[in-house]
Amino acid sequence: MKKTLAFVLALVFVLSIALTGCTPAPTTPTEPGAPTAEPKVLRMIQTSEPPNLDPQLGTDTVSIEVDNAILEGLVRVYKSQVQPGMAESWDISPDGLTYTFHLRDAKWSDGKAVTAKDFEYAWIRLLDPKLASEYAFQGYYLENGEAYNTGKITDPTQVGVKATDDKTLVVKLAAPTKYFLALTGFLSLMPTREDVVATHGAAYASDPDKFITNGPFLLKEWKHEEIVVIEKNPDYWNQEAIKLDRVEMPIVLDNKTGVNMYEANEVDTVNLTKDFVDQYKAKGQDKYFISGSEFYFQFNVTGGTGVTQKLLGNANFRKAFAYAVDRQAFCDAVLKNGSSPATRYVLPQLAGNEKLFSEEYPLEYYPKTADPAKAKEYMDKALAELGLTADKLPGIEFLTDDSEDVRIQAEAIQDMLSKNAGIKLEIKQVPFKSRVDLMNKKDYQVVMAGWGPDYDDPMTYLDLWVIGGGHNNTNWENKEYTDLIAFSKTTADMKARGDKMFEAEKILLDSGVIVPVYNRQRAYVQQDYVQNINRQFIGAERDFVFADIVK
């Protein structure tokens, strides 16, 4: 993914010209009787409240999507290409271990300069054990990053990030990492200013008046559980490329309400659930994109008490789930949005060494359709191992979000597991933010979780489940798996790295702690006057930074 700076700058220039060329020239205000130009406003639904806009604490797709517009890292990744962000150029040492970033003149939303120190502080903050960031492992690429986060060293100056002056950030890696440059545009590595965090403490980033930003847009309004409004940043370094004046994001849980808003011209685009796909397909208005998120059953292997805890801790019981669910029927009849059955864990679209990882290491671990005989076989094994009988099985709590669409999906899963494996699911619906919180606290039994890639490499899926990992809220610990991931993160032998990652994927699947169900595709409709929303499978699902309204 590395590109020369000259190419990247040329791409930015071409993008700016292209976007400018599709916008009608406004009438100058000095002309007699000149009309006032209509502000360009994009209206798009968010399906939940952003749980946390603090860049070192945010983990979810909604927060990532909003922060992608109001914050900017050292680089910006757009349409899979690395472009300059707060860094206007960078140098990489021949051994791939030292990155020197040269920052441009840029301002925070309070008018103060963005400095290299803001990045040094943010990255050390990410790794600070007291913050307990789930994404702290994104700082493990730095020299001594993991040691500082795990308490093996206590001096943050030993971590491989240093602002040598206001405009220069020197980064030293623990091992060469081919995707590190792109990763510096990810949420966790975006800058944060120390004095603002000190002023607001735990309330930092909870409201517009407790947050400063440095991106293409400014956070103007956040009515919690109602709407987020952002406006164009007049001080953004590349503001000529930003065509939108404002983006309004009402928070709407119910898809029917969202579709009604679209039909009433209250929003400009909306995702579609199965009840509405056929309606728009008949009009030829349905659109699709691969969102990059894979959804899977995630088990808390020490969840519950008594018999429930024994069941969740048993690999054969977990794999009974895997064979009882009909992935193809779930995609075709329940989702109806083009999603495909997930028969393995690593997302099929991710890069390998020379081809896609899925092409270099093909695997279909689970069938696309249900296999009731296999489900019963694994259930019988589990019962025998635990000394239980089927008639004494307790209900298993299934944690889900609280929207109507998710309820329908959960009931479909509930029916499949009952019919094909005799497993009783008790559905527990909570708001998205609460579901994330319960998972983080390991206060659940089984959850349908999802993960989207942060960068184009299988590691973005695999390093989640190491012992002590910030996102490993399963209570599953496997030293062999953890060692394989550690090797894959440090070796310079790319063939051996791929082999070990594939081995780790199979260990994870063998454990049954993660059971893939489907790879999500989104169906949506959008007004023709909306241009240049980049829907992608890595990072922010909808990148609207360079979008335009052309009527």
What domains does the chain contain, in order, with CATH numbers?
A: 5-248+527-549 (3.90.76.10), 290-522 (3.10.105.10)
- The residue among 201, 210, 236 whose CA lies nearest residue 111 is 236
Number of residues that this document lists for the chain: 551
User: How many whole angstroms separate alpha carbon 351 and alpha carbon 355?
Assistant: 6
Contact indicator for 43, 268 with CB cutoff of 8 Å: yes
Residue-level pLDDT at 158: 98
DSSP string, 373-420: HHHHHHHHHHHHHHT--GGGPPPEEEEEESSHHHHHHHHHHHHHHHHH
Q: Which residues pair with 219 in a beta bridge?
A: 230
Listed in sequence order, the residues at least 6 apart from 473 whose beta carbon sits closer than 8 Å to its beta carbon are 300, 439, 440, 441, 442
User: 512 — phi, psi (to 5°)?
Assistant: 70, 5
Residue-level pLDDT at 58: 94
Residue-level pLDDT at 36: 62
Q: What's the distance, Cα to Cα, between the start and end of the chain in Å?
A: 36
Tokens 């808390």 label which residue?
Answer: 300
Q: Write out residues in the chain with pLDDT < 70, as ranges.
A: 1-36, 289-290
Global pTM reads 0.81
CA of 225: how far to CAs of 378, 397, 416, in Å? 43, 26, 33
- The residue among 277, 79, 90 whose CA lies nearest residue 180 is 90
Max Cα distance, the chain (Å): 89
Name the packing angle between helices 372-386 and 404-421 (round to 10°).
Answer: 80
